Amino acid sequence: MRFVALKSEEQQAVLSLHRMRAQQVKIRAMQAYQVRSLLYEFGVVAPKGFAALKAKAATVLAEPTGCPVPELARVELLSQLEGLQSLTARMEALERRIGSWQQPRSRVRAARRHPRRGPADGHRGGGDGGRCAQLPLRP
């Protein structure tokens, strides 16, 4: 049986922040794919990437007269873009909070490393001594 150390409340809180950020990444990707596909239905091709989608959709949906998307859908797509931008801002705020928690602890982790054995618990990682990446791939 393998025993693990208990996590403090602070560690659990940081892990929950990581899970929330991962969920926000999934939600943002789903919304971006939906906006891209709805624009494509009306003949607007947006390039790959979130920044490129945001730039293309903003320019196409900005003017109601020359937009190939009907007004009914255009207004909702604009609100979807605003939601994507606010979600991105929330993700960046979470990343800053996680980063601010990790910075003071990086020195502690570095001090706990043993020069020859790796981390203080003696576990080196994969157990192959780093040779796995050097082996040739064979079918």
77 located within any domain: yes
> What does the block give as tokens for 64?
């109601």
Q: How many domains does the chain have?
A: 1
Residues of the chain with pLDDT under 50: 117
Give counts: helices (H), strands (E), the chain: 3, 0
pLDDT of residue 27: 95
Tell me the CB-side half-sphere exposure of residue 90, using CA atoms within 13 A.
Answer: 16
62 located within any domain: yes
pLDDT of residue 66: 84
Tell me the CB-side half-sphere exposure of residue 54, using CA atoms within 13 A.
Answer: 12
133 located within any domain: no
120 located within any domain: no
23 located within any domain: yes
For residue 56, the enclosing domain spans 9-114
pTM reported for the whole predicted model: 0.66
Which one, of 31, 34, 57, lies nearest residue 45 by Cα? 57
107 located within any domain: yes
Alpha helices in 8-70 (DSSP H): 9-41, 50-62
22 located within any domain: yes
21 located within any domain: yes
